[in-house]
Amino acid sequence: MGRIDSPSRVRQSLEASGIRPDKRLGQNFLCDGNWIRKAVATVPDGMPVVEIGPGLGGLTAELLANGHEVWAIETDERLCQHLHQFLSTDHFHLVHADAVSQPLAGILLNRKPFALLSNLPFAITSPWLDSLLNPNQSLPIFLALILQKEGMDRILAQPGDKTYGPTAIRLHLAFKPKKPSVVPRSAFHPQPGVESRFNTWTLLDSPRLLQPEATQLLRKFFGLRRKMIRQGMKQFLSEETNQRWIEVLAGSGLDGTSRAEQIPPDVWWNLLR
């Protein structure tokens, strides 16, 4: 099995397969061998891996070479055909589908624990994470993502940050992050207009996952993010729930004059559960 771990090899692979990168799908293929090896080296040894958007298979080939069984999901039929030819092994399982509809690539749920690795397209970051953080499905115990800087900033945002919102809150309630590393534009082909970031997360011992109704309510409050939370409490909550929220906020040193982006994830959990 060959490796696609340099710009020249990526170009050769694209030419041989007759594929032109689709900007609409966010196809910036990781082509830096050092970063491919660094990302794969973070995955626990021997653990099955879900990969979102394997592209040309740079990360996939390294995972397989390191003894991982891989479940991958790819929406581009051209790339699926390439991957079937390039990665002919019983340890590689490919689903041709949208990752938002199948965030775990159809991995068998009795295969635990498992990890997830992806050079994730920016456009699907939030909707894919929304699908992943589902209380009715299993979660990876280890998560490793390469994202454009804006996407990484959004999901690592802290209370008070401009990009702090429902996705960051929900991810924080289930996973513990490490500190991100800078991935230069030159590590991709074609080169994106911005830098990317690489980061890993580990599943908490007791992950907290919001039910769909609670997630919808959280989004409603962030729709009023410039207003005091008491405005949303009057609009969205019953009198009984309103009183309980006042007590929860007071117990956390907050009150109805706080804004949605000032409330930490743990407090949101106590409010919404």
Q: What percent of the chain has pLDDT over 70?
A: 98
Residue 2 lies in a domain: no
Domain range enclosing 177: 7-203
If one counts the domains in the chain, the total is 2
Among 68-72, 105-109, 231-235, 265-269, which is the least confidently predicted range? Answer: 105-109
Cα–Cα distance between 269 and 273 in angstroms, integer?
6
Interval 62-72 mean pLDDT: 96
Q: What is the pLDDT of residues 123-135, one digit of tens each?
A: 899 999 999 999 9
Question: Does residue 34 surpass a pLDDT of 70?
Answer: yes
Instruction: Please check the confidence at residue 86 and state whether its pLDDT lies above 80.
Output: yes
Same domain as 18, residue 94: yes
Q: Are residues 114 and 249 in the same domain?
A: no
Residue 103 lies in a domain: yes
Q: What is the CATH number for 191? A: 3.40.50.150
Regarding whether 135 and 172 lie in a shared domain, the answer is yes
Say if residue 2's pLDDT is above 70: no
Query: For the chain, what is the HEC assignment?
Result: CCCCCCHHHHHHHHHHHCCCCCHHHCCCEECCHHHHHHHHHCCCCCCCEEEECCCCCHHHHHHHHCCCCEEEEECCHHHHHHHHHHCCCCCEEEEECCCCCCCCCCCCCCCCCCEEEEECCHHHHHHHHHHHCCCCCCCCCEEEEEEEHHHHHHHCCCCCCCCCCHHHHHHHHHEEECCCEEECHHHEECCCCCCEEEEEEEECCCCCCCCHHHHHHHHHHHCCCCCEHHHHHHHHCCHHHHHHHHHHHHHCCCCCCCEHHHCCHHHHHHHHC
What CATH number is associated with residue 257?
Answer: 1.10.8
Q: Are residues 186 and 221 in the same domain?
A: no
pLDDT at 225 over 60: yes
Shared-domain flag, residues 185 and 222: no
Average pLDDT, stretch 117-145?
94
Average pLDDT, stretch 240-245?
Answer: 96
103, 235: one domain: no
The answer to whether residues 231 and 146 belong to one domain is no
Q: pLDDT per residue over 175-206, tens digit each? A: 999 999 999 999 999 999 999 999 999 999 99
Arithmetic mean of pLDDT, 18-37: 89
In a domain, 1, yes or no: no
Tell me whether residue 194 is in a domain.
Answer: yes
Question: Are residues 138 and 263 located together in one domain of the fold?
Answer: no
| Dist. CA 208–CA 172, nearest whole Å | 9
Same domain as 123, residue 188: yes
Please indicate, yes or no, whether residues 166 and 193 belong to a single structural domain of this protein. yes
Q: With cut-offs at 50, 70 and 90, classify the pLDDT of residue 108.
A: low
> Domain check: are 22 and 107 in the same one?
yes
Domain endpoint, select from 160, 178, 203: 203
223 and 141 assigned to the same domain: no
Full-model pTM: 0.93
